Amino acid sequence: MLRVFVWVGLIGLWPPLLLAQPAHALTVYSEAPKYPANFSHWDYVNPQAPKGGSFRRSSMEDGAFDHLIPYVDKGTGITQIQGWLYSPLAYRSQDEPYTVYGLVAQTLELAPDHSWMRFSLNPKARFADGRPITAEDVIYTFNLLRTEGSLVYRQRFVDVDQVLLESPTQVRFNFKNTDNRTLPLDISSLPVLPEHWWRGRNFANGGGFEAPLGSGPYRIIAVDNGRSVTFERVKDWWGEDLPVNRGLYNFDRVRLEFFADTDVSRQLLRAQGYDFNREYSATNYTVGYAGDALRDGRLQREHLAPNAVQGTQGFVFNLQRPLFQDRRVREALSLLWDFDWTNRQIMHSMYLRQHSFFSRSELAASQLPDAAERAILEPWRGQVPEEVFDQVYQPPHTDGSGRIRPQQAQALKLLEAAGWMPRGDQLVNAQGQPLQFTFLSNQKGFERLLLPYKRNLAQIGIGLHIRMIDSAQYANRVRARDYDMIVNGYPVSPSPGRELTNYFGSDSADDPGSNNYMALRNPAVDGLIDGLVRANDRPTMVRYAHALDRVLQWGFYWIPNYYPPGSSSVWWNRFGRPATAPLNDVGIDGWWEISPTPLTNAQMRQLTEEHQHAGL
């Protein structure tokens, strides 16, 4: 009776509670989701895909892993734990900008004024030991990630005020404000960890190599420390027949292979040591797999997800270094990396030049700001470069000959204005200190891209030292911001949110768990990120993204690199793929085994036709 009275009181005091409606999906700005409540499966899967077989792929992480879970900043975990081992509250659709559909949560309920949201859990949801997934597990996971998890969770969930247990299968999140539009979806993407398993284990240090108890389509059955992890499909998985899972997770066994050397990974793939490799070298992708297998189709090579938004990559300045605190120096150094020659001579003209921090998306600032965007930027006039108001940023362009005398002359003018003068074969400052810096890397073969840059710098008196170290040392030094320059990439979301603080926010500059590798502290950047997060509609969000992009571009905080025309992938031809590929992902979770051994193109066509004729 007390509970009834409490609820009557709440209803009387909080009218929006009466208006909220449980839904199967959430979008950022309350637009209609692509898939209705009664949808049967995604467009990008084959709902009749057979289960069985095996799949072995290279990992998404570089080097070895030193623990399993990917939810902490310490060391290197395994990305695929999310989704494979642990099911989230809701699944993010791969052919929409940012829409989530209930998975562990049967329904999602958002207050009309965005002041709270409620999850009602699927009563069938279970952990692998048979125990039900409860609201207590949701609350435990949220608190665990916010206190002991990666910095990104603390930043992402900063606007959560309270988490309330309403019943064993119902939990509500109250928000501090109503204008963080991606927060409900970010919470919906939360994995749910079993409190009864994790309590008493060392989550903050990654949990070691012990296979965690999961709730997803796979369980871990073997761990070769630092080298490989083997997953086995859960045959009686509670979520297998949900629309969000139908046609996915078809392999009985999946193994992730970890390589510290990309040459080794390529050679092992060619020897059929595993099935699929994501190739990051243009040379290796273009000529490294040549042979009979590639010619007859047993080995496949393709840029998957060609229309997906691509991540960004660049040579990042550590702004904590006094040398790089002068914008003119950063601009000068940016002029001296010759992408056009590098792409033609070293990368087989495969890559496209990075222009923006939001490449290949509508968020990229590629035209002059309109009146609405200028109004967003105007309060920051005098604190941001004047170019953001009346110029469109373009990275340096050369004729590709390798001779960049105009760019070098322009760089020398900028450096002279910044106080660097020639003395002998060096540029020195007023104290006689030479202009030199070190590029830190753990990528074997990356020197090929840096040596031409080193030559261009040396021709005008700048010293570049290239320091190659192992992955463990590199991770430690990056966390400590102990470098002058590194190469780094940032993921790009078509609907970004609070995670941008992790990449560019002032509060992240010194945190070893953040991805603010520039150590950037800029009030204008902070303000524009805040405005983007609080935008009430997509057009406003896009304008804030454009404004943010301009400030980052004209700040010359990095030297923009390049991106591929898709995900450069190589695999042995023994798998089926859905007729429609997802827009935002390579879609491997929707593949299935057709043959235990690789097939030629002719054999695959014949077998596929036979299956289609048989209705398989």
Structural domain includes residue 504: yes
- Considering the domain architecture, whether residues 254 and 367 belong to the same structural domain is answered as no
Q: Which two tokens stand for residue 416?
A: 């002279």
Q: Which two tokens stand for residue 241?
A: 């027949």
- Considering the domain architecture, whether residues 319 and 254 belong to the same structural domain is answered as no
- Considering the domain architecture, whether residues 189 and 256 belong to the same structural domain is answered as yes
Q: Which residues of 361-380 are buried (b: 16+ CB within 10 A; e: fewer)?
A: bebbbeeebeeebbebbeeb
- Considering the domain architecture, whether residues 249 and 334 belong to the same structural domain is answered as no
Residue 607: pLDDT band with limits 50, 70, 90? confident
| Domain enclosing residue 94, as ranges | 19-260
Give the Cα separation of 419 and 446 in Å (integer). Answer: 31
Report which DSSP code applies to 297.
T
Q: Residue 190's domain is classified under what CATH number? A: 3.40.190.10
Structural domain includes residue 607: no
Helix, strand, or coil (residue 226): coil
Q: Is 461 left (phi over 0), alpha (psi -120 to 50) or beta?
A: left
pLDDT at 332 over 60: yes
| Boundary-marking domain end, from 222, 245, 260 | 260
Structural domain includes residue 277: no
Residue 236: pLDDT band with limits 50, 70, 90? very high
Looking at residues 499-521, what average pLDDT do you find? 94
Helix, strand, or coil (residue 302): strand
Q: Residue 475's domain is classified under what CATH number? A: 3.10.105.10
Which value, to the nearest 10 degrees, does the dihedral of the CA atoms of residues 181, 183, 186, 190 take?
A: -150
Looking at residues 238-263, what average pLDDT do you find? 95
pLDDT for 615 equals 63
Q: Which two tokens stand for residue 467?
A: 């320091």
| Boundary-marking domain end, from 260, 278, 301 | 260
pLDDT for 616 equals 57
Q: Which two tokens stand for residue 367?
A: 């035209």
- Considering the domain architecture, whether residues 110 and 241 belong to the same structural domain is answered as yes
* 79 to 62, 85, 502, 554: CA distances (angstroms): 11, 10, 18, 33
- Considering the domain architecture, whether residues 233 and 359 belong to the same structural domain is answered as no
pLDDT tens-digit readout, 452-502: 999 999 999 999 999 999 888 998 999 999 999 999 988 888 889 999 999
Domain count, the chain: 2
pLDDT at 18 over 70: no
Structural domain includes residue 611: no
Structural domain includes residue 489: yes
Residue 6: pLDDT band with limits 50, 70, 90? very low
- Considering the domain architecture, whether residues 368 and 226 belong to the same structural domain is answered as no
The answer to whether the CB of 249 falls within 8 A of the CB of 233 is yes
Report which DSSP code applies to 497.
-
- Considering the domain architecture, whether residues 222 and 318 belong to the same structural domain is answered as no
Q: Which residue has the tokens 């914008």?
A: 327
* 392 to 99, 152, 387, 544, 546: CA distances (angstroms): 31, 31, 8, 16, 11
Structural domain includes residue 405: no
